[in-house]
Amino acid sequence: MLEIYLYTLISILFVSLISLIGILTLFTNKKHLSKMLLFLISFSAGALLGDAFIHLIPESFESFNPLVISFSIIAGILIFFILEKIIHWRHCHMPTSKEHIHPLGKMNLIGDIFHNFLDGIIIATSYIVSIPLGIATTIAVLLHEIPQEIGDFGVLIYAGYSRKKALILNFLISLTAVIGGIIGIVLSKYISAFSSIMIAFTAGGFIYIGASDLIPELKKETSIKKTTIQILGIILGIALMALLIFME
């Protein structure tokens, strides 16, 4: 159990440090940033869908009742949709601009608290099932966090926060994942089916984010060159998750 705590804590802290990546947007040409995000969002979509279908769903069906797992996957999709509706927890990954305006700061911060808390539970329960599954899920979360945090930093700057305050708030809120990780481990100790159900729930959430949030953003670009980059990014994200099978 100590090993699980250690892997979970290191993974969560590493993911939390990604919250500081927003500062790079201040030193990057907007045109170059847009191209970089185009690939990162594609890569993230592929990794999330790859982790869901290659790792999480097969693992869930092996370890628990298939019908319960199916309902848990559906619940993951539905609850992520409800969270997005109720608290405007958005998964947009492009910096705010005159052409791309986001809801302002406080709502974004509230959404991130729930977002990071769930990330902590997701990472912890994945490690409880197996170390390789935890690593695969951490990588998927990490890849998704990079464009997400760049977008969040842009939202806070647009909302009037100073660069320093935006960075500090983003980082502090990212640490709520630690609380989620601890709760995930504790619940798994006392509720035997919790890990299996949570893994299936996570798969549903990843499918929702990948298919409902990320891919629709990619559809906005229609040029052959950009579409080719998107397809390549998605394939590479899936391929990365497939390669991680050899760790198991």
For residue 153 the two structure tokens come to: 């930093």
- 3 state SS for 221-232: CCCHHHHHHHHH
Flag whether pLDDT at 104 surpasses 60. no
Asked if residue 122 lies in contact with residue 109, where contact means CB atoms within 8 angstroms, the answer is: no
Asked if residue 46 lies in contact with residue 211, where contact means CB atoms within 8 angstroms, the answer is: no
Flag whether pLDDT at 110 surpasses 60. yes
pLDDT tier, 64 (very low <50, low <70, confident <90, very high otherwise): confident
The more confidently predicted of residues 152 and 139 is: 139
Flag whether pLDDT at 173 surpasses 70. yes
Nearest-angstrom CA–CA distance, 79 and 198: 12
Cα 243–chain centre separation: 20
Flag whether pLDDT at 33 surpasses 80. no
Flag whether pLDDT at 100 surpasses 50. no
For residue 105 the two structure tokens come to: 């700061």
Flag whether pLDDT at 44 surpasses 50. yes
Q: 10, exposed or middle or buried, with CB in 10 Å at 0-12, 13-18, 19+? A: exposed
Flag whether pLDDT at 31 surpasses 80. no
Flag whether pLDDT at 74 surpasses 50. yes
Please, which residues have CB within 8 angstroms of residue 110's CB and are 6 or more apart in sequence?
Answer: 87, 89
Nearest-angstrom CA–CA distance, 83 and 105: 17
Domain residue limits, the chain: 2-247
Phi-psi region of 160 (alpha: psi -120 to 50; beta: other; left: phi over 0): left
Nearest-angstrom CA–CA distance, 114 and 49: 21
Asked if residue 77 lies in contact with residue 70, where contact means CB atoms within 8 angstroms, the answer is: no
216-241 average pLDDT score = 89
Tokens 């999709």 — which residue? 77
Flag whether pLDDT at 98 surpasses 50. no
Nearest-angstrom CA–CA distance, 36 and 6: 33
> Given this model, what pLDDT does residue 95 score?
52
- For the entire predicted model, the pTM comes to 0.80
Nearest-angstrom CA–CA distance, 195 and 198: 5
> Given this model, what pLDDT does residue 199 score?
93
